[in-house]
């Protein structure tokens, strides 16, 4: 489809006129900021230079390229309220990057300020123009530039906004990349700077490309329900208008629906149907107040509205006495409409409204009308946020601070972006990648720092999952993860593990019964299940395998079966009350190392390392133990059943070292016992006799307490190892009147 020479000439003439028209429009928008002829000259010089440099270039749409810089400058002037320097920068923003114009040329022609901003813009472009998505680390570069001159980021926002408005001409993959970046970085940035109108537009435009069908669906539904909504608004505001007019207020009322993007968020992320949210909107009352009456006027209107409609007490927000960090000021109340619907009403003055819509821009305007303190305050606050956040992650975090985000964005080591629910832990992330990576996860590196699996990820984090073939899912992982997917995977793995353990337990159980000389009777099974309060056979076998049901208890069951006196009944009741620490053991901890040779071996090799026995669980030889590398105190040995073990293992997996006892050492270890029984005459005597005479064990302390005919004894003894201790426990259990003996931690 070639064009004739005449057609081309006509076209070129049309375009020339269109460029001129756009330029005139720009001049009109920037006019209030033009203070001198020199300003006008500089703008014109920039315009002519941009036209010249871009003259042979076209946009993807086929239009002359110069349309774009003019549009960016137009946004700077009209929508951001920026002045001459920014307009010049908008016009020139793509020249250094895309044409033969150099920074030195720019400095020579327009001075240092413009040169610096163009330099910043060119650098930012370099970061965003990579084919892969922008990484948190690269974002830091933007931030460093940003803190030099806020105008860099404002012109960049204008550039992005125009690119989003004209995104339809791009290739689909480019559309997706740009739209996602906009949603992730630019919309929050606009929000942080208080540019609500731009933030909302960026979000809606992004959604249009990321989820075109959903976007269209919501847009259509909004259009269809428009009339109903407008009727409701007008009947709701009618009495308010009447009252305000009677009291002599100058005002304007706006009724606004939620943005398409925020409706989409509610529908998709929260599962709320459109019908429940389309009519949620805020009514905005904008007062024309004199500066000195602003606050009191707003409160008077508050009083009028709450006289008309009943307010919801917990939904009052006073952003006038306490403006938000981005400068937002407004009074919010939620009231009940006559039809029983809650409606949010925002009360503010025209100045506050402009600030809320146009942020920075409005501040500049009011700066000229004498409200300098407020403006300086706001700029100082923004600067503080920017300057105090040296790393990109914190900055992204602070952008998102008051966004109430339900999702976070996480980068893989290769820079791939993943969207996850807020509250996601390192373990969730591992499962999000692959269930096997989740199952073997021992920790993660977040922004190159080691963190435990329970670490809560934050938007912008770059996460590398660490795995170990020896790792297995644990019961308490269920408390760490928040995603359904991870929870299901863990449950499956645990069920599988339990089934395996139970199979071993079955053998153990049957062997124990043989030892007791009891023939296992299938008919006993229901009574056994009832007695041990377990739901099914698998649970029974599992408890036997993991020590949750001991030899002694099995023996007791058969005893109980024969004599069901109140005496035994009571005994059972008491015994049940003593805590069964053993139940927490996992299979791994149960695989007992049969052979014992030397002393305590730490790690895989036999290199002897210095260690200390921890005082929280007092491990003794024979106990299942592990080593924990402390910061100041070398390796500490804990029992695997130590109350702190779970926490240590899950939070500091990388500091855990294997340890096992080999040969018993002839040193005595301190262990505590708890003895429960009936307070019979001479029982204490019988117990101490067995300990010191029969077993030749040294007692360090002994204390007994009696209550309602029962006694509770705590004995501290010196033993050589667990065999020695278990022997003693068994002997003490034989003492008449003793109901139970357990080891204390």
Residue (94 or 149) nearer to Mn ion, CB? 94
Query: Are the C-beta atoms of residues 71 and 26 closer than 8 Å to each other?
Result: no
Q: Which of 43, 53, 94, 218 binds Mn ion (CB under 5 A)?
A: 94
- Annotate 64-103 with b (16+ C-beta within 10 A) or e (fewer): bbbbbbbbbbbbbbbbbbbbbbbbbbbbbbbbbeebebee
Residue (91 or 136) nearer to Mn ion, CB? 91
Contacts (CB under 5 A) with Mn ion, residues 679-738: none
* Least distance to Mn ion, CB of residue 117, Å: 14
* Least distance to Mn ion, CB of residue 273, Å: 40
Q: Say how far apart CA 451 and CA 432 lie, in whole Å.
A: 17
Residue (94 or 204) nearer to Mn ion, CB? 94
Residue (67 or 261) nearer to Mn ion, CB? 67
Number of residues that bind Mn ion (CB under 5 A): 2
Maximum CA extent, the chain: 123
Query: Are the C-beta atoms of residues 618 and 745 closer than 8 Å to each other?
Result: yes
* Least distance to Mn ion, CB of residue 190, Å: 17
- Annotate 612-636 with b (16+ C-beta within 10 A) or e (fewer): ebbeebbbbbbbbbbbbeeeeeebb
Query: Are the C-beta atoms of residues 349 and 294 closer than 8 Å to each other?
Result: yes
Backbone torsions φ then ψ of 620, nearest 5 degrees: -130, 160
- The contacts of residue 110 (CB under 8 Å, 6+ apart) are 42, 45, 46, 88, 92
Contacts (CB under 5 A) with Mn ion, residues 140-179: 159
Query: Are the C-beta atoms of residues 743 and 705 closer than 8 Å to each other?
Result: no
Q: How far apart are the first and last CA of the chain?
A: 89
Q: How far is CA 562 from CA 369, 539, 565, 739, in A?
A: 97, 25, 9, 17
Part in contact with Mn ion (CB under 5 A); list of ranges 87-95, 208-216, 287-295, 345-353:
87-95
Length of the chain counted residue by residue = 745
Containing 409, the helix (H) or strand (E) segment is: strand 407-411
* Least distance to Mn ion, CB of residue 120, Å: 13
Give the ranges where 401-483 is alpha helix by DSSP (H).
426-433, 435-439, 477-480
The three-point CA angle 357-141-148 to 5° equals 60
- Annotate 13-33 with b (16+ C-beta within 10 A) or e (fewer): eeeeeebeebbeebbebbeeb
Residue (94 or 589) nearer to Mn ion, CB? 94
DSSP letter assigned to residue 670 = E
* Least distance to Mn ion, CB of residue 75, Å: 11
The rounded radius of gyration (Å) of the Cα atoms in the chain is 37
* Least distance to Mn ion, CB of residue 205, Å: 16
* Least distance to Mn ion, CB of residue 62, Å: 17
Q: Say how far apart CA 356 and CA 368 lie, in whole Å.
A: 18
* Least distance to Mn ion, CB of residue 157, Å: 11
Residue (93 or 400) nearer to Mn ion, CB? 93
Residue (201 or 553) nearer to Mn ion, CB? 201
* Least distance to Mn ion, CB of residue 93, Å: 6
Query: Are the C-beta atoms of residues 220 and 278 closer than 8 Å to each other?
Result: no
Q: Is 100 helix (H, G, I), strand (E, B) or coil?
A: coil
Part in contact with Mn ion (CB under 5 A); list of ranges 56-64, 90-98, 196-204, 209-217:
90-98
Query: Are the C-beta atoms of residues 266 and 221 closer than 8 Å to each other?
Result: no
Task: Tell me: does residue 553 bind Mn ion (CB under 5 A).
Answer: no
| Angular region, 517: left φ>0, alpha ψ -120 to 50, beta rest | left
* Least distance to Mn ion, CB of residue 68, Å: 6
Q: Is 254 helix (H, G, I), strand (E, B) or coil?
A: strand
Question: Mask 627-646, x = binds Mn ion (CB under 5 A)?
Answer: --------------------
Q: Is 326 helix (H, G, I), strand (E, B) or coil?
A: coil
Residue (159 or 354) nearer to Mn ion, CB? 159
Residue (67 or 209) nearer to Mn ion, CB? 67
Residue (93 or 743) nearer to Mn ion, CB? 93
Contacts (CB under 5 A) with Mn ion, residues 436-495: none
**How many C-beta atoms lie closer than 10 Å to residue 288's C-beta?**
12
Q: Which residue is nearest to Mn ion (CB)?
A: 159
Part in contact with Mn ion (CB under 5 A); list of ranges 94-102, 297-305, 497-505, 589-597:
94-102
User: Which residues have a catalytic role annotated?
Assistant: 97-98
Q: Which residues bind Mn ion (CB under 5 A)?
A: 94, 159
């Amino acid at each position: 489809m070639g064009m004739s020479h005449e057609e081309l000439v006509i076209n070129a003439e049309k375009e020339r006129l269109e460029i001129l028209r756009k330029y005139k429009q720009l001049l009109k928008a920037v006019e209030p900021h033009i203070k001198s002829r020199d300003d006008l000259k500089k703008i014109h010089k920039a315009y002519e230079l941009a036209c010249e440099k871009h003259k042979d270039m076209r946009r993807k749409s086929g239009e002359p390229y110069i349309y774009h810089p003019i549009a960016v400058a137009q946004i700077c002037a009209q929508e951001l309220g920026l002045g001459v320097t920014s307009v010049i920068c908008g016009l020139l923003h793509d020249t250094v990057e895309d044409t033969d114009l150099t920074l030195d040329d720019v400095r020579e022609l327009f001075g240092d300020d413009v040169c610096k901003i163009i330099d910043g813009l060119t650098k930012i472009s370099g970061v965003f123009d990579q084919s892969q998505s922008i990484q948190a680390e690269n974002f830091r570069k933007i931030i460093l530039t940003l803190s030099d001159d806020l105008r860099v980021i404002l012109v960049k926002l204008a550039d992005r906004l125009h690119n989003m408005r004209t995104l339809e001409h791009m290739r689909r993959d480019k559309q997706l990349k740009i739209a996602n970046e906009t949603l992730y970085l630019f919309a929050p940035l606009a929000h942080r700077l208080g540019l609500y109108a731009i933030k909302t537009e960026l979000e809606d435009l992004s959604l249009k490309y990321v989820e075109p069908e959903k976007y269209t669906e919501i847009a259509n539904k909004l259009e269809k329900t428009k009339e109903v909504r407008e009727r409701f608004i007008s009947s709701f505001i009618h009495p308010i208008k009447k009252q305000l007019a009677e009291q002599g207020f100058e005002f304007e009322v706006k009724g606004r629906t939620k943005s398409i993007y925020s409706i989409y968020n509610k529908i998709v992320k929260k599962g709320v149907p459109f019908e429940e949210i389309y009519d949620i909107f805020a009514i905005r009352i904008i007062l024309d107040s004199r500066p000195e009456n602003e606050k009191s006027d707003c409160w008077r209107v508050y009083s009028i509205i709450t006289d008309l409609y009943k307010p919801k007490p917990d939904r009052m927000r006073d952003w006038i006495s306490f403006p938000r960090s981005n400068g937002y000021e407004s009074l919010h109340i939620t009231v009940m409409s006559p039809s029983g619907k809650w409606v949010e009403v925002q009360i503010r003055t025209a100045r506050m409204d402009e600030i809320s819509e146009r942020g920075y821009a409005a501040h500049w305007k009011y700066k000229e009308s004498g409200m300098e303190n407020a403006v300086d305050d706001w700029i100082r606050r923004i600067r503080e946020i920017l300057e105090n956040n040296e790393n990109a992650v914190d900055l992204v975090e602070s952008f998102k601070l008051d966004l109430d985000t339900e999702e976070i964005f996480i980068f893989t080591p290769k820079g791939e972006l993943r969207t996850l629910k807020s509250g996601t832990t390192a373990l969730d992330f591992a499962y999000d990648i692959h269930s096997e990576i989740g199952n073997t996860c021992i920790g993660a590196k977040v922004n190159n720092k080691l963190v435990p699996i329970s670490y809560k990820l934050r938007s912008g984090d770059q996460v590398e999952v660490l795995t170990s073939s020896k790792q297995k899912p644990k019961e308490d992982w269920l408390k760490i993860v928040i995603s359904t997917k991870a929870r299901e995977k863990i449950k499956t793995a645990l069920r599988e593990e339990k089934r395996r353990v139970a199979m071993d337990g079955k053998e153990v159980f049957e062997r124990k019964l043989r030892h007791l000389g009891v023939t296992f009777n299938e008919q006993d099974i229901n009574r056994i299940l009832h007695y041990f309060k377990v739901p099914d056979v698998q649970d029974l076998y599992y408890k036997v395998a993991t020590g949750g049901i001991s030899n002694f208890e099995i023996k007791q069951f058969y005893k109980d079966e024969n004599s069901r006196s109140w005496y035994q009944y009571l005994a059972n009741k008491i015994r049940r009350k003593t805590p069964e620490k053993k139940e927490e053991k996992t299979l791994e901890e149960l695989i007992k190392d049969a052979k014992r040779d030397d002393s305590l071996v730490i790690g895989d090799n036999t290199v002897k390392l210095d260690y200390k026995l921890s005082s929280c669980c007092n491990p003794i030889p024979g106990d299942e133990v592990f080593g924990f590398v402390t910061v100041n105190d070398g390796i500490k040995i804990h029992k695997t059943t130590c109350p702190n073990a779970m926490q240590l293992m899950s939070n500091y997996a990388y500091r855990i070292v294997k340890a096992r006892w080999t040969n018993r050492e002839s040193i005595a270890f301190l262990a505590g016992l708890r003895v429960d029984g009936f307070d019979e005459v001479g029982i204490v005597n019988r117990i101490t006799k067995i300990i010191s005479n029969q077993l030749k064990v040294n007692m360090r302390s002994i204390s007994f307490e009696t209550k309602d005919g029962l006694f509770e004894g705590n004995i501290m003894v010196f033993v050589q190892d667990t065999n020695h201790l278990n022997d003693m426990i068994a002997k003490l259990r034989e003492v008449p009147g003793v109901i139970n003996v357990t080891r204390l931690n």
